[in-house]
């Protein structure tokens, strides 16, 4: 069983993204955010992919997520999937108000 790693993309089900190969993200890092937990790194443009470890979440701007600490993701790994026609972080959990 794979070890969970903080702030890493474990699975991406958005297979039309050019960083996706077999539901694994090959982006060097991703950005999540602003007002919605959208994967801002999603692209359908051709990109160079090199096998590497699980990508880090470079910045998460969803400050009301319980896993967000100073724009760093502290989740034990995240999952990206489809939501309303775009790619979202499914690991998002609202934090305390």
Range of the domain at 82: 10-89
Q: Are 72 and 3 in contact (CB under 8 A)?
A: no
Mean pLDDT of 10-16: 94
pLDDT of 90 above 80: yes
- Selected residue with higher pLDDT from 91 and 95: 91
Cβ atoms of 61 and 34 within 8 Å: the answer is yes
Indicate the pLDDT class of residue 62, thresholds 50, 70 and 90: very high
pLDDT of residue 1: 36
CB distance 80 to 12 below 8 Å = yes
User: What's the structural domain count of the chain?
Assistant: 1
24 domain-assigned: yes
Q: Which of 30-34, 48-52, 87-91 has the lowest mean pLDDT?
A: 48-52
Cβ atoms < 10 Å from Cβ of 70: 7
Q: Establish if 34 belongs to a structural domain.
A: yes
Other beta carbons within 10 angstroms of residue 24's beta carbon come to 15
């Amino acid at each position: 069983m794979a070890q969970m790693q903080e702030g890493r993309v474990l699975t991406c089900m958005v297979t039309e993204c050019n960083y996706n190969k077999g539901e694994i993200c090959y982006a060097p890092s991703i950005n999540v955010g602003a007002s919605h937990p959208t994967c801002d790194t999603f692209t359908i443009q051709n990109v160079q992919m090199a096998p590497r470890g699980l990508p880090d979440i470079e910045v998460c701007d969803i400050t009301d997520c319980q896993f967000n600490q100073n724009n760093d993701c502290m989740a034990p790994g995240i999952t990206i999937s489809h939501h309303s026609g775009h790619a979202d972080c499914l690991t998002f959990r609202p934090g305390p108000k």
